Amino acid sequence: MVPEYFIFLRFYSYISSQFLLLPLSKRICSQMKATFECQNNSLLASWTLSHSHENVFTPWSDETYDAYRDWYGIICDNGWVNRVNITKSNVNGTLYDFPFSSLPFLEYVDLKIGKLVNLVEAYLGTNHRLYYTEIGNLVNAKLFYAFSNELSGPIPAEIGKMKSLENLSFQTNNLSGPIPKTIGELTELKLLHLYTNQLSGPIPSELGNLKNLSDLQLSSNQLPGPIPASFGNLKNLQVLYLRENKLFGSLPKELAYLDNLVVMEMDENQFSGHLPEHLCQGGKLESFKVNSNKLTGPIPRSFSKCSSLKRVRFDNNNFTGNLSEAFGIYPELQFINLSDNDFHGELSSNWGKCKNLTNLQVARNNISGSIPPEIGKVNRLE
């Protein structure tokens, strides 16, 4: 069975006209239906043209007002197609002919499609007219979700025209090429999910212009190069996922300016050098992972006071320093892995005060001394 995926798009647009485009829209809807598999779908059997609606432009009339009354999943507002919802129709297709241009008052599209493919080529492809007539004109679009499909090809630079976007989600596809610099022009953006694709090229510094961004996830791609210092401008950022890429270089000191960070995961890259001082100075960091890199030097002193930590991974690096001095007391800490580094010293009795700790790993270091009896009081250790 083909897995069902969900695509949700919501946009607000206005195009003035003295004529209704309903007949043309019905024709294009029929063309869209023709691209679907399962042509015998009973729910979409109502998507048919009648001889009374063959003209392209039809002035206002009671007839056109209810032109879509019997069409499954089509809802009109004052004679214009306002909503399309076919989540229960169980169709597969490409959506090459989705009629954005002919539905100027469309506010809501809700589709549950078994296999959505080639959407980027159909609507974002640089050689396809639909891109310029559709995406470029969606200047009031707020949400664009096209995740968990089989989309391929690059993300075109023209996506930067969608100035009102707040959420942009293309994760879990087969997109390739660089991240467009023009995404940095989407200054209303709060969420940007591009993870689990084949994106390449360095992270554009223009992403630092997204000062409203709170959730940035670029993991599981082929991105090389350093983290731009401009990321220090993302003062509202709460979630930062850069894991499983080909990123290298030192972590910029500007990351310590992100006082609202709750999650920072950059594991499985090729970062080198020291961790920036003053990380976690905002006191909100809960998940911090830099395992499987080439990082060196001591753990910043700020971490000893970062009481908000819940999950931490420093393993598989070249960190140094006295283990008994580098870490403090973490009342919320559940998991910490310090294995495969060059830590020395003794295990601190402070670990016994981390009452929620379930997993403490310090294997393959230079630890000496005895095991503090206080660790035996952490009754949640697994």
Residues 184-221 have pLDDT tens digits of: 999 999 999 999 999 999 999 999 999 999 999 999 99
If asked whether residues 234 and 331 sit together in one domain, one would say no
φ, ψ of residue 342 in degrees (nearest 5): -120, 35
Mark which of 287, 320, 343 sits at the end of a domain: 287
Asked if 43 and 89 touch (Cβ cutoff 8 Å), the reply is yes
Q: Which of 157-161, 190-194, 243-247 has the lowest mean pLDDT?
A: 157-161
Number of domains in the chain: 2
If asked whether residues 235 and 356 sit together in one domain, one would say no
Q: How far apart are CA 32 and CA 43, in angstroms?
A: 15
If asked whether residues 210 and 242 sit together in one domain, one would say yes
Q: Report the sign of the C-alpha dihedral through residues 149, 151, 155, 161, in that order.
A: negative
**Is pLDDT at 116 greater than 60 in this prediction?**
no
Q: What is the pLDDT of residue 56?
A: 36
DSSP string covering 82-102, please? Answer: EEEE-TTS-EEE--TT--STT
If asked whether residues 272 and 306 sit together in one domain, one would say no
Instruction: Specify which of 68-72, 133-137, 237-241, 352-356 reaches the highest per-range mean pLDDT.
Output: 237-241
If asked whether residues 183 and 327 sit together in one domain, one would say no
| Domain of residue 240, residue span | 5-287
3-state helix, strand, coil in the chain (%, to 5): 20, 25, 50
- The CATH number given to whatever domain includes residue 294 is 3.80.10.10
Residue 142 pLDDT class (50, 70, 90 cuts) = confident
φ, ψ of residue 298 in degrees (nearest 5): -80, 165
Separation of CA 112 from chain center:
19
Instruction: Specify which of 14-18, 60-64, 71-75, 327-331 reaches the highest per-range mean pLDDT.
Output: 327-331
Tell me the two tokens of residue 291. Answer: 């395992």
Residues 43-58 have pLDDT tens digits of: 667 766 554 444 433 3
